[in-house]
Amino acid sequence: MLLEFSVTNFRSIKEKQTLSLLKSKLKDDGLEGNYSTITLSTGKTLDVLNSAVIYGANASGKSNFLLALQVMQDIIKQSSGYSQNQNITNIESFLLSESSIKKPTEFEIDFVNIVGVRFVYGFSTTQEKIIDEWLYQYPKGRPQALIDRTNTYIWGAMGALKGNKKLWQESTKDNSLFLSTALQLNCHQLLEDVREMDYISCFSSDFHQSSIITLISDVAKEMINNKQEVLDFLQGADVGIDDFLFIEDKLNNTYAIKLIHKVNNNNRLFDLDKESNGTQKIIALAAFWIKALNNGYCIVLDELQNSLHPKLVEYLVKMFHNPEINKNGAQLIFVTHETSLLDQDIFRRDQVWFCEKQDNATELFSLADFSVRKGSENVEKFYLSGRYGAVPYLR
């Protein structure tokens, strides 16, 4: 499970900003399903939130924070394949400060893998080269270094990592991550240890028809293999779809979905483009929701509410809060402007986050930082009135 993600000096983010999914000491107040209790390799237990929502004005940096996680993933997956002089993908420093322009961007992720070992992985980078990189594991509570890299090519003690470290180090280019290179060269220990980072799926807000068609084609086999679950999901969402089938294009290795509606007890086939934007989006999300919930994966999504009714958004969120559905610690992190979700019967305070700009730089903070009276304070009303900040100040 994802515990924390931090980013420094990226686009509108200047200073280090951290989203934490570690449960605070706030009272549960009937929301016990909003977090999962995991057992660490040390024998201790840890309560981890199953979801987090981020609010804020337009241009406050909400999307940049989620984009940072996507960029980190992309660099891990792609940097071993960079050519020698290729720039590192999508690295953009905070441009409104001369000192920040000259500093590297930094990413760090804190997570627990499937066997309960806690890991912290991060790196700092410019557009041209990786500056520092680190990976620590905590199997017995104390940190053990798997990766220790400074000043691009200075290697520290990496005693916890087994295998041909010399080969992996020599094969790591200055614009590539050691992790990416070692994984490419089949470092089995790292393949097992950090697999959890591969289970985070990031989506932008750009759910136009061509991207939805591609998404659905990519998960066609998943939808076919879990057809009844997908149908239950769609029928629970009340989008009026009775069945579906796929037509395979073997030449292009793609799949086109056909949707079935019952009309006077007869089946009628419809192309995807005949459905509403909201229905198209729900169909695209169905397989990812089911895969995440069945396997304990994490979904990160910008503008979840786009094209969806507020009650449908609530339905999607509450699946992650239902222990009968979410049995494996799946997580949902999303950005939204849908304020009806600011209900203390839906979210704990430590699940609600706000983004706003101070001195032109994005700052991220939690509703848990405020004293909120359960049952007597209308969080939605107070948020819209500006009590917590993170709203536009219109003139």
Euclidean distance between CA atoms 268 and 348, whole angstroms: 44
β-pairing, 200-203 vs 298-301, is parallel
Say if residue 206's pLDDT is above 80: no
Using CA atoms, how far apart are residues 267 and 327, in angstroms rounded to an integer?
Answer: 35
Domain ranges of the chain: 1-205+302-395, 208-296
Tell me how far CA of residue 244 lies from CA of 30, 33, 272, in angstroms: 38, 32, 10
| Tens digit of each residue's pLDDT (9 = 90 or more) over 289-312 | 999 999 999 999 999 999 999 999
Can you give the pLDDT at residue 394? 82
pLDDT single digits (tens) 135-165: 999 999 999 999 999 999 999 999 999 999 9
Beta strands in the chain (DSSP E): 2-8, 17-20, 35-39, 45-49, 51-56, 105-112, 118-125, 130-138, 144-150, 154-155, 200-203, 243-249, 254-263, 266-271, 298-301, 331-335, 352-358, 361-366
3-state secondary structure of 7: strand
- d(CA 174, CA 151) in angstroms, rounded, equals 10
Please report which confidence band the pLDDT of residue 205 belongs to, taking 50, 70 and 90 as the band edges.
Answer: low
Round to whole Å and give the CA distance between 48 and 43.
Answer: 16
Starting at the edge strand found earlier in the chain, the sheet holding 331-335 runs: 200-203, 298-301, 331-335, 51-56, 352-358, 361-366
Residues 49/367, Cβ–Cβ less than 8 Å: no
State CA 391 to chain mean position distance: 23
DSSP strands (E only) in 173-222: 200-203
- Compute the C-alpha angle 310/20/298, nearest 5°: 60
Quick check: 208 pLDDT over 90? no
- Rounded CA gap, 385 and 286, in Å? 35
Of 70, 79, 69, 75, the residue nearest 181 (C-alpha): 79
Amino acid at 87: N
Q: Are 323 and 33 a contacting pair, CB within 8 Å?
A: yes
Please state, for a pLDDT cut of 70, what percent of the chain lies above it.
98
pLDDT grade, residue 248 (50/70/90)? very high
HSE toward the beta carbon, residue 101, CA cutoff 13 A: 4
Angle at CA of residue 53, ends 282 and 295, nearest 5°: 60
Give the list of residues 6+ apart from residue 325 with CB closer than 8 angstroms, or none.
293, 319
Whole-angstrom Cα distance, residue 100 to residue 8? 10
Q: Both tokens of residue 217?
A: 């084609």
* pLDDT tens string 5-56: 999 999 999 999 999 999 999 887 789 999 999 999 999 999 999 999 999 9
Say whether 254 sits in a helix, a strand or coil: strand
Report pTM. Answer: 0.95
- The token pair at 198 is 């591969």
Tokens representing residue 314 in the block: 């609530």
Strand partners, 353: 54, 366
Q: Nearest 10 degrees: CA dihedral of 40, 43, 47, 48? A: 0
Q: How many residues does the chain have?
A: 395
Is residue 278 over pLDDT 70? yes
Q: How far apart are CA 283 and CA 271, in angstroms?
A: 12
pLDDT digits over 364-373, tens only? 999 999 988 7
Buried b / exposed e over 130-153, threshold 16 CB at 10 Å, is bbbbbbbbbbeeebbebbbbeebe
Which pLDDT score, from 0 to 100, does residue 99 have?
A: 93
What's the average model confidence in pLDDT over 117-128? 98
